[in-house]
C-alpha cells in the first residue's frame, strides 16, 4: 500500500529523479534516493513543511535536486525505473536512507552532519543524513 498519494505522472517523475541522481550507484542506490524523496513528502518538518506531492518535492526551491538542471533528468522514464519508484512509494526502506531527508555526493569522506542532520551512512558515492525523532517524528 502506498505511503504517499501519487499518480502515474508522479511515479514517472520520481523514477526520472532516482535515475538522474543515482544510476551510477545501481538499483539499491536509486532506491535510497527514492527513500529520501518519499521521506520529504511524508515528513512535513524542517525544510519540507508543506511539501505534499512528488512534484512539490522534486522542484522545491531552495532544497530541490541538482539533477533537475541537467538534460538527462528529462529523459523518458524507463519501466525498470518506474518499478523501483513504485517500491519506495509503497513503503520499502533501505538502510542508511530509511529516515533520511538529505543525501549528497562528496569529493571525499562523508561529513558528520549536513544541514544539521546526522550522517547515517554511505552507499557507494552518496552520503545520507537523517533528522532526529524530535525534529521529524513522523518519517
Per-residue pLDDT tens over the stretch 111-125:
999 888 999 999 999
CB 124 within 8 A of CB 29: yes
| pTM for the model | 0.96
pLDDT band of residue 64 (cuts 50, 70, 90) is confident
Per-residue pLDDT tens over the stretch 29-62:
999 999 999 999 999 999 999 999 999 999 998 8
Task: Measure the CA angle with vertex 41, ends 36 and 44; round to 5°.
Answer: 110
Residue 80: all three cell numbers together: 525498470
Sign of CA dihedral 118, 98, 17, 24: positive
User: Over 80: is that where the pLDDT of 63 sits?
Assistant: no
Q: Compute and round to an integer the Cα radius of gyration of the chain.
A: 14
Amino acid at each position: 500500500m502506498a505511503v504517499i498519494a501519487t499518480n502515474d505522472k508522479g511515479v514517472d517523475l520520481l523514477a526520472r529523479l532516482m535515475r538522474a541522481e543515482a544510476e551510477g550507484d545501481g538499483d539499491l542506490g536509486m532506491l535510497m534516493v527514492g527513500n529520501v524523496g518519499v521521506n520529504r513528502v511524508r515528513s512535513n518538518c524542517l525544510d519540507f513543511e508543506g511539501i505534499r506531492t512528488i512534484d512539490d518535492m522534486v522542484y522545491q526551491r531552495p532544497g530541490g535536486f541538482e539533477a533537475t538542471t541537467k538534460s538527462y533528468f528529462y529523459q523518458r522514464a524507463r519501466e525498470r525505473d518506474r518499478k523501483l519508484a513504485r517500491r519506495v512509494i509503497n513503503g520499502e526502506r533501505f538502510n542508511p536512507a530509511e529516515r533520511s531527508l538529505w543525501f549528497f555526493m562528496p569529493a571525499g569522506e562523508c561529513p558528520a552532519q549536513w544541514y544539521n542532520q546526522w550522517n547515517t551512512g554511505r552507499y557507494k558515492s552518496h552520503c545520507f543524513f537523517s533528522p532526529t525523532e524530535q525534529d521529524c517524528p513522523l518519517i
